[in-house]
Amino acid sequence: MRRMFGFLIGIFVGGLVGAVVALLLAPESGEQLRGQLRDRGQNFLNDVRHSADARRIELRQRLDTLRAPREF
């Protein structure tokens, strides 16, 4: 348990350090960078929603197929 907690802390600290370094070394201004990050985040969320909707439709069709009465 202690090793897992240490690992998670390491991931968090590493991500935080990486984010700070990326922001400091970014070639654009902070406002442009924030806009780009916001756009990428929005695109990512849209992609996730689209994929989830497609998967939901697929699973619903499978469920309907399984629920349909069988003919022998």
CA atoms within 13 A on the CB side of 1: 0
Computed over every residue of the chain, the mean pLDDT equals 88
Where along the chain do its domains lie? 2-67
pTM of the model: 0.52
How would residue 57 be classed by pLDDT, with cut points 50, 70 and 90?
A: very high
* Torsion 54-60-66-68 (CA) sign: negative
pLDDT at 34: 83
pLDDT at 58: 95
Q: pLDDT over 90 for what percent of the chain?
A: 50
How would residue 44 be classed by pLDDT, with cut points 50, 70 and 90?
A: very high
